[in-house]
Structure 1
C-alpha cells in the first residue's frame, strides 16, 4: 500500500512539474509576440489621423481608430512618434461603416407576419497608405475590411462600443502584421 501511495505521489509531483513547465513555455511564447524587434535603422513613425469618410457616420469612429492604431505601433514596435521625416508613415481614411441585417426572423402570430432582423453585421473598411523611407519598395496602398455579426437586440451604444472596438482591433492587427512582417 505504501509503495502505491509513493508512486502516486511521484506521479502527482511529475505532473505538477510538467504543468509548470508547459505554462512557462506558453507565457514565454506569448510574451515574445507582444513587442516586435525592428531593424535598428527604424527609429521614427508618424501615424496621421484617419478621417471617417463613410456615408454612415459614427461620431467616435475616426478618433477611436486613429488612437488605437497609433497606440499599437508606439507600444509594440518600439518606435518614437514624430511629425518630421519619419522612417515610417501611415495614413489613410475610413471609407465604409455599415450595419446591415444578415438573418431575418418573422413572427407568424403577429398581424402581417412581423419581419425583423435577428442578426446584424457591422462592416468597417479602411484605406491605408504605408510609406517606408528606408526601404521604399516595401511601401503600399491597401484596403482593409472586417466585420462582426451580432444580435439585433443590441442597442446602438453597445454596438458602437463593443462591436466597433472588435472590428477596429481586427483591422489594426492586419495592418500591423502586414507592415512589421516585412522587418
Structure 2
C-alpha cells in the first residue's frame, strides 16, 4: 500500500513539474500557455465608471495586472497599443449590498462587489481575443463601515479579479 501511495505521489509530482498536457510547447512551469513568440503586452488604464467610487481602484487594478504579467510571464510591458497583446477595460461596478439581515432589519453582513469589463486583444492570434466581465467580492461585518474595512478587503478583491483575468489570458480559461 505504501508503494502505491509513493508511486501516485511521484507521478503527480512529475506531471506537476513537467507541465502535463503541454503538447503545443507553449506551457511553462507556472502553467502559462502564452506563446513564446509573443513579446509585448500593453495594459491600458481602466477608467472607473462605477456609481460608487474608490479613487485609487483604477490605478491599483492597473498596477496589479501589470505586476502579474511582468512576474509570471516573459512578456515585456509596453506603453503603446501596438503591442502583441492588449488589455483594456473599465470598472463598471463597485457595490455594497446587505447579505444577512438580522431580526431587527439591520445587516449582519455586507458584501463589497467589484465588477470589471475587460477587452483582451491578441494581435497575433485573434482567436484568443475576448470581451468578458469579471467580478469578485468580500463580505464584511454589518457593524463596520465600508471606509473602515475597505483598505483590508479591497486588495483581496483586486487580487481575485487579477487572477481571473490572468487565468483567462494566460491559461485559456
Calculate the TM-score normalised by the size of structure 2: 0.78
Matched with 1:170 is 160
> Which consecutive aligned stretches of 4+ in structure 1 deviate over 3 angstroms post-superposition?
35-38
Aligned residue-pair number: 153
From 26, 34, 43, the counterpart of 1:38: 34
Higher helix share: 1
Higher gyration radius (CA): 1
The Cα offsets for residues 44-86 of structure 1, whole Å up to 9 and x where unpaired, read as: 0000111111000111211111111111111111211112320
| Correspondence list, 1:21-170, <5 A | 32-33=29-30, 36=32, 38-84=34-80, 85-106=82-103, 114-170=104-160
Runs of 5+ in structure 1 lacking a partner? Answer: 1-17, 107-113
- For 2:67 and 2:114, the matched residues in 1 are separated by 19
RMSD after superposition: 2.5
Per the TM alignment, residue 134 of structure 1 is displaced from its structure 2 partner at its CA by 0.7
Partner SS for 2:34? coil
Per the TM alignment, residue 158 of structure 1 is displaced from its structure 2 partner at its CA by 4.0
The Cα offsets for residues 16-67 of structure 1, whole Å up to 9 and x where unpaired, read as: xx8xx99xx5xx85x933x736322111000011111100011121111111
- For 1:72 and 1:175, the matched residues in 2 are separated by 10
Matched with 1:7 is none
